[in-house]
Amino acid sequence: MAHHFEIYKDKAGEFRVRFKYNSEVMFSTEGYASKSSAQNAIESMKKNGPGAEVVDNS
């Protein structure tokens, strides 16, 4: 599996989502109180991510 979303519980007990590519964490989300909120975040990224523009502030 080259890339995937991963839901995990942090030390504070919140659910977070991280996206991994070749075992490297590319990004991680804020903490969510419920697992269903984390799952909704994944669905939102899948739906809205492909059309997102790139903003270069360098």
pLDDT digits (tens, 9 = 90+) for 2-36: 899 999 999 999 999 999 999 899 999 999 999 99
Q: For residue 52, is it within any domain? A: no
**Is residue 45 scored above 90 in pLDDT?**
yes
Q: For residue 54, is it within any domain? A: no
Q: For residue 19, is it within any domain? A: yes
Tokens representing 9? 């519980």
Q: Give the Cα separation of 19 and 3 in Å (integer).
A: 7
In sign, the C-alpha dihedral spanning 52, 5, 27, 15 is positive
Q: Which residues pair with 5 in a beta bridge?
A: 19
pLDDT, position 2: 87
Count structural domains, the chain: 1
pLDDT, position 20: 96
Range(s) of the domain holding residue 34: 3-47
Q: Give the Cα separation of 32 and 42 in Å (integer).
A: 12
pLDDT, position 9: 97
CATH at 39 = 3.30.160.160
pLDDT, position 42: 96
Q: For residue 39, is it within any domain? A: yes
Q: For residue 21, is it within any domain? A: yes
Q: How many Cβ atoms sit within 10 Å of the Cβ of residue 1?
A: 6
**Is residue 1 scored above 80 in pLDDT?**
no
